[in-house]
Chains A and B, each alone.
Chain A
Amino acid sequence: MDEALSKLDAGKLLFALESNRHITSRQREQLADRIRRKETSADLPYYLRLLAGIGAFIATGCLLGFLALTKVIAFDNAAEAMGWGGMLIACGIVLARTAAIDAGIALHSFLMQTSFCLVGAGKLLAICGIVGLFPHDYRHNGGELWNVAFALAAVTALTWPFYDVFIDRFICSAATLLTAMSAIIVGHAGSEMTEFLLNGLLVAELCIAGFIFTSGRAGRSLAPLGYALLSAITVIVSFLSVDGIRDLPFHAPVFSPAFANIALAAALVGLIGWAAGDLKRLSQEPLLIASAGAGMLGFIATPGITLGLGLMILGYARLSRRLLAYGGLLTAAFLCIYYYSLALTLFEKSGVLVASGLLLLAGYGYMRFRKLDKEA
């Protein structure tokens, strides 16, 4: 669970709803029971999850090393690799289920670590097998990378309903998205299709992330995918914003971040409306000004700054310290990159910086003048 900024707990919220006659006493009890059941999971505190993750990661490496050295499994035989991979995954899932059902604390920890280790090794083997089924020359349209991306997506989707471990779901989702991005960049090097496909991927990722983070219909089980999408969006935006990254041998020099910036600005306006409680409220004066500012960012800033600000708003609206900190770091980093890469002399840059700083301070002054900065 994310470390929340909220000072109000679920119990107090339900009592507040009851005392204002939004729910009855009986409904409050039913909702309390429902919230508790949904909230409770077998997750360990974060510091124990870190320990478990490190241990399982080392053990996975050892297991894979053992399999490679003993040559029990022929990695180059697709059917065998897939078969063994499937078997290891199945064993891992059974162990995780056993741990969740009736294990004590000691056995649970041991079983979950072993399970994570088996599933990790099994997934790698299964992916090797699937990729081996469709040999492809990577120089043509990123074929091998697309194979890996599809294999990752297939393995992730197949195991998703059965293996409810946040870190496993997050790693697999992020790996799938990043491999797809790499396949686009490498596979269509020098072609105008790269920009088109990359922008398409970004828009798709934005839409899915928007649904996961803003809709109540997206359950907690989709949270790892949501965070993986945010990571993938950050990577695409970095690729589009940082000149140095794009100086790769396979880089298509026709890229323009303009479309991505406009898409992110549009998402930012939607986010402001959602944070206000309803998109219809965007017509109110403070929100209208905020939306105009977001729209302006779409034309003058870089995608990274817009993304960072969006994440900060999302983090504040969800009372999530992690998202807020992540957005703050991204904003600071992309602001530095933006001003650093402006094609101006240091003297001109100093003028631009002071002017933009004064503009923001003028906004602050306006809010103070209109008394919009006072807590009720």
Chain B
Amino acid sequence: MDTIRDRLTPLDQIPATRQLVEALFADGKITHEAREYALNLLYPARRWGLWVSRLLLALGVTLTLSGFLYFYAFNWAAIPDMVKLGSIEGALIACMGGALWRGLETRGGKFFALGAATLIGVFLAVFGQVYQTGADAWELFAAWALLILPFCAASCFAPVWGLWLAVANTGLYLFWNHYLPLHAHTDGLIYPLLGLFNTGVLAIREILDKRMPWLSPAWTRNLPAVIALCCAVVPLVCLVLGWKDATPAMGYGGVIGILILGGFYGFFRYVKTDVHALAGTLLAGCVVAESALFKMMDIRELGGAGMLLLLGVATITLFASVIVWLRNLSKELEVSPWMKH
């Protein structure tokens, strides 16, 4: 039988760290010279210099820019509209120029593109304030999301894509609140809407990630996946707990929630196996199952105490089963590299 104690971590999976060196030295297993050599190997003095200089640069730029922001905030009323808009436009043009100058394939150029994408939103907000365009907040976010789409495509930089996702989600939420105020028949439909939107974004990401290596960081998958899962779970839990008073909107939300959870399970299990994404999906499923158990074990019928004890045992069994299944799956992936994506 495979027991926990049998499994020793392979040496190449143990990172060499200062703690490891210090522990060997403290136990008298290596000499002072060996410790010095190992620490110098792990932390070349030059690398510290580089790290400190980058820290100084980041803090220095942040504080200086914050100072300029305070200056604008202090003098906002006194600054002529032309200067307000002109300075933002100037900064926008400078960022775009910087991106072209450094080239979008360089790190500097990508950060310039991120700055430009942010300044577009600032410009739209100030423009709306100066000219009193009467535009609603959702329109601002929608326009912002639309205008920075080319930046996402051109910069090939995941943070710009993250900014776009945040702006688009906010725009969608504001649009829903503006045009469809909460009534019984629409109450809660925002969740499936956002869930479907983020699932769609995730689907595009999954189609493109092979051709676009900049989409490979795990967070570009995790961010839309977490939003979609949360938006799938909320209507499902509401539906389970308020089954008797469920509105059609809750029903639609529940159905879409099940489809999202099922889709995630199928995709991350069979198409692109990802244990982390599966763990998130199963956690969402466990939350729904717990709600259902709580609802089923009616406190008045079984008596509060009995219900709680049963619920406790059921909870442990449920979570332990999920953990076992995931552990077996990750073990299976370790021995079957062809399954990895």
Contact = CB atoms under 8 A, between A and B. Distances in A.
Given A8-B16, A12-B12, A117-B312, 9 more contacts: A8-B15, A62-B315, A66-B312, A110-B324, A216-B27, A275-B43, A346-B70, A349-B70, A357-B66
Contacts of B8: 36-37, 40
Contacts of A106: 320, 324
A215 B164 CA distance: 45
B53 A373 contact: yes
Contacts of A363: 56, 60
B63 to A, nearest CB: 3
Contact of B319 (A37, A60, A113): A113
A213 to B, nearest CB: 9
Nearest to B25: A216
B75 A347 contact: yes
B216 interface: no
Contacts of B40: 277
B23 A216 contact: yes
Contacts of A349: 67, 70
B122 interface: no
Contacts of B5: 42, 100-102
Interface in A111-127: 113-114, 117
B106 interface: no
A168 B208 CA distance: 43
B63 A316 contact: no
B64 interface: yes
B217 interface: no
Given A13-B16, A17-B38, A106-B324, A275 B48 contact: yes
B16 A48 contact: no
A244 interface: no
Given A40-B7, A215-B22, A319-B15, A17 B48 contact: no
B83 to A, nearest CB: 16
B74 A345 contact: yes
Contacts of A335: 59, 62-63
Given A105-B324, A216-B25, A349-B70, A10 B20 contact: yes
Given A10-B14, A65-B304, A55 B320 contact: yes
Contacts of B14: 9-11, 35-36, 39
B-side interface size class:
35 or more
12 contacts: A47-B275, A54-B283, A102-B3, A113-B323, A215-B22, A277-B40, A318-B17, A320-B17, A335-B62, A361-B61, A361-B64, A368-B53
B34 interface: yes
Interface string A47-58: 110111011101
B16 A364 contact: no
B318 interface: yes
Contacts of A296: none
B49 A356 contact: no
Contacts of B318: 55
B2 interface: yes
A197 interface: no
Interface stretch (B110-118, B169-177, B325-333): B325-333
A26 interface: no
B245 interface: no
Contacts of B135: none
A117 B316 contact: yes
A357 B64 contact: yes
B212 interface: no
Interface in A215-229: 215-217, 219
A336 to B, nearest CB: 9
Contacts of B41: 8, 13, 16
A58 B290 contact: yes
Given A62-B311, A99-B4, A48 B327 contact: yes
A51 B67 contact: no
Chain A CB within 10 Å — which of B47, B65, B313, B320 has the most?
Answer: B320
B11 interface: yes
Interface in B12-52: 12-27, 29-31, 33-34, 36-52
Nearest to A15: B11
B339 interface: no
Contacts of B63: 335, 353-354, 356-357, 360
B308 A65 contact: yes
Contact of B67 (A35, A276, A353): A353
B100 interface: no
A-side interface size class:
35 or more
A215 B43 CA distance: 17
Contacts of A357: 59-67
Contact of A360 (B4, B37, B56): B56
Contact of A66 (B7, B13, B75, B309): B309
Contacts of B65: 357
A165 B182 CA distance: 47
A6 B51 CA distance: 15
A12 B16 CA distance: 8
Given A55-B320, A349-B70, A11 B11 contact: yes
Interface string B178-193: 0000000000000000
B338 interface: no
Chain B CB within 10 Å — which of A109, A331, A347 has the most?
Answer: A109
Interface in A11-53: 11-14, 16-17, 20, 22-23, 27, 31-32, 34-40, 42, 44-45, 47-48, 50-52
Nearest to B64: A357
A358 interface: yes
B223 interface: no
Given A8-B42, A40-B9, A109 B324 contact: yes
A200 interface: no
Nearest to B27: A216
Nearest to B275: A47
Nearest to B41: A16
B74 to A, nearest CB: 4
A51 to B, nearest CB: 6
